[in-house]
Amino acid sequence: MNIKAAEELPAVSVIMPVLNEERHLRTAVRHILEQEYAGDMEVVIALGPSTDRTDAIAAELTAEDPRVRTVANPTGRTPAGLNAAIRGSSHPIVVRVDGHGLLTPGYITTAVRLLGEMEAANVGGIMHAEGETEWEKAVAAAMTSKIGVGNAAFHTGGLAAPADTVYLGVFRREVLEKLGGYNEEFIRAQDWELNYRIRQDGGLIWFTPQLKVTYRPRPSVRALAKQYKDYGRWRRVVTRYHRGSVNLRYLAPPAALLGVLTGLVLGAAVHPAFFVLPGGYLLGILGGSVVEGRGLSWKARLQLPVALVTMHLTWGFGFLTSPRSLARRVIASAAPTPMAPVAPVADPK
Question: Per-residue pLDDT tens for 170-213?
Answer: 999 999 999 999 999 888 888 988 999 999 999 999 999 999 99
pLDDT along the chain (349 residues), means of 10: 59 96 94 93 96 96 96 95 95 94 94 95 92 95 88 74 92 94 88 91 94 91 96 89 74 93 95 95 95 94 97 96 86 72 40
Is beta strand 205-215 parallel, antiparallel or unpaired with respect to 122-129?
parallel
pLDDT for 241 equals 81
Q: Residue 301 and residue 57: Cα distance in Å, rounded?
A: 35
For 1-49, give the DSSP string.
--HHHHHHSPPEEEEEEESS-TTTHHHHHHHHHTS--SS-EEEEEEE--
C-alpha dist (Å) from residue 218 to 16, 140, 298: 18, 9, 20
Neighbours of 132 (CB within 10 A): 13
Residue type present at position 155: H
At 130-169, the pLDDT tens digits run 899 999 999 999 998 989 887 776 666 788 999 988 999 9
Q: Residue 245: what pLDDT?
A: 67
What is the separation of C-alpha 55 from the centre of its chain, rounded to a whole number of angstroms?
A: 22
What residues does 161 pair with on adjacent strands?
Answer: 207
How many other C-beta atoms lie within 10 A of the C-beta of residue 280? 13
**CB 310, CB 251: distance < 8 Å:** no
Give residues with Cβ within 8 angstroms of 207, minimum separation 6: 123, 124, 125, 153, 154, 158, 160, 161, 162, 163, 166
DSSP states of 177-237 as a string?
Answer: HHHTSS-TT-SSSHHHHHHHHHHHTTPPEEEEEEEEEEEPPPSSHHHHHHHHHHHHHHHHH
**Does the model's pTM come out above 0.95?**
no
